[in-house]
Amino acid sequence: MNYDVIVIGSGVVGSALAHGVAKEGLKVAVLDAKTDIPNSYRHLSINKKSKHFLEQIGVWQNIENNAFPYDQIKVWDQEGTGFIDFNAREAGLSNLGYIVREGDIQKTLIDSFHKNNIQTYWGHSLEGINISKDRIICKTNKKTFQGKIIIGSDGMNSHVRNLSKISSRSWSYNQTAIVANFESSAKDMCIRQTFTSVGPLALLPMNSKEMTMIWSIDDEYAYKFLSMTDLEFTAEVKKYFGEHIDYLKLNSKRQNFPLHHLSAKTFAKNGIFLVGDSAHHIHPLAGLGLNAGIGDVDCLSELIKLNGLNEINKITSSYNGSRIPVNLALAASMEAFKRGFGQKNIWVRLLRNSAFNIANELTPLKKKFMQLATEL
Ligand SMILES: Cc1cc2nc3c(=O)[nH]c(=O)nc-3n(C[C@H](O)[C@H](O)[C@H](O)COP(=O)(O)OP(=O)(O)OC[C@H]3O[C@@H](n4cnc5c(N)ncnc54)[C@H](O)[C@@H]3O)c2cc1C
């Protein structure tokens, strides 16, 4: 089986990349170890740059009906001394982004593969990669494929990364994210996040009647929160949110995700390109991981459009030069937030809170934060 581009992993990032390069006329195959299209009910925030890319590849109009816009983000700490809010009006925007169900974006992308003549191979788990002079051979459990380039979009435990001997740095955040959906009385378009004594707790509006919750809890307490009854757990969420929410009723299972940082040492070499979580994985507290992945896809699709596949070395150095620094800076900011808010030392907390309050006053500094969140 011969293709120009072989994409390993049909998550949102890999599927978006497949469209980005196939619309340039390249012959593209997408392989995934799963046997069918997954239907994740996790909700994610999509920033305006990601939305713009999804518009360009012609899928946003089918996602938009189920996407809920948010126009404000409020963040505070439990002591009531640190507070910051971002709102679309201050930035001259109609909203700051959208909350979308991951399964809706992925299904829309995959359902429209036929428009760009993209071939899919389900139940194909990558087992080997062999790089020769002008071809790369990929072996799955079922078939052998040949491509000019290979895209590793196979998530944090990427086989593409490991089989291509691209090393990475990774560590545990020692937190587990508990994700659940609630019926709620909140009627605005605001994302709320509070830094509790056990970890950051965020509620994101899914529509006018429901919210999704991401609570990144220190591992030592996570089991306790996971083993509570639904009523006990809801009571804890309300307690930590205080007066900001009056009605909450759990209406989904609680899912949990151990949280890790990962950063590949290089994002591209020898015709292998890593995009999304296979290249970088960050703490979900700012809801930017997928947006950073779509940023990779946007950059790589544009480089392939400009250079074609005869200039692979040029594409490799431009892609590394552009995406590694952006993602390192993002990972450093997340680490600073995480460490700053994890501080138990009173002086560090006071300093942190004054910095937060100053940031809330200083419009240029807030604009900088906002740029980071909306334009990765
Ligand atoms: C709790 C939580 C909340 C989050 N919230 C947000 C948010 O609000 N906004 C945001 O921008 N980001 C968010 N993120 C981050 C976001 O979920 C990820 O960055 C994003 O889903 C990564 O997508 P991906 O396509 O790179 O990888 P994945 O979605 O992991 O897809 C990888 C695909 O590769 C396939 N695969 C794996 N191994 C193989 C193999 N050997 N052969 C073939 N196929 C293989 C898998 O089956 C899968 O389909 C959050 C993360 C967490 C944990």
The predicted pLDDT at position 363 comes to: 60
78, pLDDT greater than 80: no
Measured in Å, residue 360 CA sits from the centre of ligand 1 at 32
The predicted pLDDT at position 116 comes to: 94
CA distance 87 to 290: 21
The predicted pLDDT at position 201 comes to: 94
Measured in Å, residue 239 CA sits from the centre of ligand 1 at 31
Q: What pLDDT digit, counting tens, does each position of 244-294 carry?
A: 777 899 999 999 999 999 999 999 999 999 999 999 999 998 889 999 999
State the closest ligand 1 atom to the C-alpha of 214, by its place in the atom list counted from 1: 1
CA distance 276 to 255: 22
Residues 6+ apart with CB under 8 A from 37: 10, 106, 107, 110
219, pLDDT greater than 80: yes
Residue with CA at minimum distance from ligand 1 atom 18: 290
336, pLDDT greater than 80: no
104, pLDDT greater than 90: yes
Residue with CA at minimum distance from ligand 1 atom 30: 155
State the closest ligand 1 atom to the C-alpha of 9, by its place in the atom list counted from 1: 34
Per the CB < 8 A criterion, the answer to whether 97 and 69 are in contact is yes
Out of 7, 17, 30, 32, mutate this one to test ligand 1's pocket (max ligand atoms within 8 Å of CB): namely: 32
pTM, rounded to two decimals: 0.93
The predicted pLDDT at position 188 comes to: 87
Mean pLDDT computed over every residue of the chain: 90
Q: What pLDDT digit, counting tens, does each position of 175-189 carry?
A: 999 999 999 977 789
Which amino acids bring their CB within 6 angstroms of ligand 1?
8-14, 31-34, 44-45, 125-126, 153-155, 159, 177, 179, 214, 257, 276-277, 284, 287-291, 293
Neighbours of 170 (CB within 10 A): 12
Query: Confidence class of residue 195 from pLDDT cuts 50, 70 and 90?
Result: confident
State the closest ligand 1 atom to the C-alpha of 291, by its place in the atom list counted from 1: 11
Q: What pLDDT digit, counting tens, does each position of 140-171 carry?
A: 999 999 999 999 999 999 999 999 999 999 99
Query: Structural domain boundaries of the chain?
Result: 2-67+99-170+261-342
Neighbours of 39 (CB within 10 A): 11
The predicted pLDDT at position 37 comes to: 84
* Closest to 11 (Cα-Cα) out of 145, 160, 136, 141: 160
The answer to which of 135-139, 273-277, 327-331 has the lowest mean pLDDT is: 327-331
State the closest ligand 1 atom to the C-alpha of 288, by its place in the atom list counted from 1: 11
Measured in Å, residue 150 CA sits from the centre of ligand 1 at 18
Q: What percent of the chain has pLDDT over 70?
A: 88
State the closest ligand 1 atom to the C-alpha of 45, by its place in the atom list counted from 1: 8
Task: List b or e across 87-111, with b for residues whose CB sees 16 or more CB atoms inside 10 angstroms.
Answer: bbeebeeebbbbbbbbbbbbbbbbe
Average pLDDT over residues 226-253: 91
210 φ, ψ to 5°? -135, 155
**CATH dotted code for 2-67+99-170+261-342:** 3.50.50.60
Measured in Å, residue 11 CA sits from the centre of ligand 1 at 6
